[in-house]
Structure 1
Amino acid sequence: MSRQDPTGLGEVAGLLFETEQAKLRDLMRREAELRRALAELDDHRKAAAALPPTQLSAPRAVGADLLWQGWVGRRRAELNTELAQVLVRKAGRMNDLRRAFGRKAAIDELGNRARAEAREAAGKRREDAVQALGVMRPGG
């Protein structure tokens, strides 16, 4: 709590906002990792497809190429499923972040208004005191 914010609401709202930002940042980091893994998987698949047929004859003879393609398909599905889950959680976190930002902005605005009103009231009191002193002066 500070002198300007005796209730501490601004500080609490700021901390909540930062917490929501950190949670969103973690999800965005995970999203980037998953997208990178999907891109690498696609690169490996394309590289394998670009191999000359002479290099693929041995793996095809034992069925390794089909096993590898099956693994790539399953792995791609797993990564896409996890990515979809992360995107859903990210959307929820975005809403939480918007809400926390709104609270913080509202509390900051209320604090700004309260400080402005306090400055006005102090100025008015000074003005009234000066006027009262002027009335009290002899010949004033």
Structure 2
Amino acid sequence: MTGKTSDLGELRHITSLLRARALEDVRRERLEEDRLRAEQGEIDRMREAARSAAQAVSLQRLIGADTLWQGWLTSRRMEINRQMAMVRARQAHHLAVARLAFSRDEAVASLQSRERQARQSDAERQQAQKLEALLFLRRLQAVDQAETS
């Protein structure tokens, strides 16, 4: 049984590592999504500031720089949205991998628990058998003493 125990221990170690790695991948994708959201918010603030400034006739507006700026902001926001979609797709994949890793880790933990309970039950049964044998020997000894006296 010790071979099986060590195999389960090694398997548990591996499944725990896979679980941790999968959760780290999910965390990394969430951080990337947060970064993109922050950049998207900054683009929106710059866009609103440019829109407010566009109300007044300025040199930038006269030469068309404001239109170029708005175009750049729009294209950058579209690029961020594209990146966000990619991050969410990767995130969904990593979440599925993390769920599977979690399930495997829990399954191995359950197997270890069952094996531990089985070993404990076996040990208790063996101890009960030893106690029964000892009790039987004492009864025999008491019978022998009664016969000899």
TM-score tier (shorter)? over 0.9
Q: Deviations over 1:59-95 (max 9, x none)?
A: 1110101100110011001110001000000000000
Q: Is the Cα contact below 8 Å between 1:4 and 1:115 reproduced in 2? A: no
| Number of residue equivalences | 138
Please give the TM-score of this superposition, normalised by the length of structure 1: 0.92
Q: Is the Cα contact below 8 Å between 2:22 and 2:94 reproduced in 1? A: yes
Instruction: Among all aligned residue pairs of Structure 1 and Structure 2, give the percentage whose two residues are the same amino acid.
Output: 30
SS of 2:142 mapped into structure 1: coil
The aligned residue for residue 6 of structure 2 is 6
What is the distance in 1 between the residues matched to 2:45 and 2:3? 58
Structure number having the greater helix percentage: 2
Give the letter aligned to residue 16 of structure 1.
L
Written as runs of structure 1 = structure 2, the 5 A alignment for 1:123-138 is: 123-137=124-138, 138=141
Written as runs of structure 1 = structure 2, the 5 A alignment for 1:101-116 is: 101-116=102-117
The unaligned stretches of length 5 or more in structure 1 are: none
1:139 deviation in Å? 2.0
**Residues 134 and 25 (structure 1), Cα distance of their counterparts in 2 relative to 1, 3 Å cut:** same
Matched, 1:139 2:142: yes
The unaligned stretches of length 5 or more in structure 2 are: 144-149
- Deviating more after overlay: 112-121 vs 43-52: 43-52
What is the distance in 1 between the residues matched to 2:90 and 2:25? 10
Larger Rg: 2
Written as runs of structure 1 = structure 2, the 5 A alignment for 1:35-114 is: 35-51=37-53, 53-54=55-56, 56-114=57-115
What is the distance in 2 between the residues matched to 1:131 and 1:37? 76
RMSD: 1.9
SS of 1:110 mapped into structure 2: helix
For 2:18, which of 16, 19, 22 is the aligned residue?
16
What is the distance in 2 between the residues matched to 1:48 and 1:29? 29
1:133 deviation in Å? 1.1
SS of 1:38 mapped into structure 2: helix
Q: Deviations over 1:3-22 (max 9, x none)?
A: 99411111111011001111
Give the letter aligned to residue 48 of structure 2.
K
1:51 deviation in Å? 2.2
After superposing on structure 2, the runs of 4+ consecutive aligned residues of structure 1 that deviate more than 6 Å are none
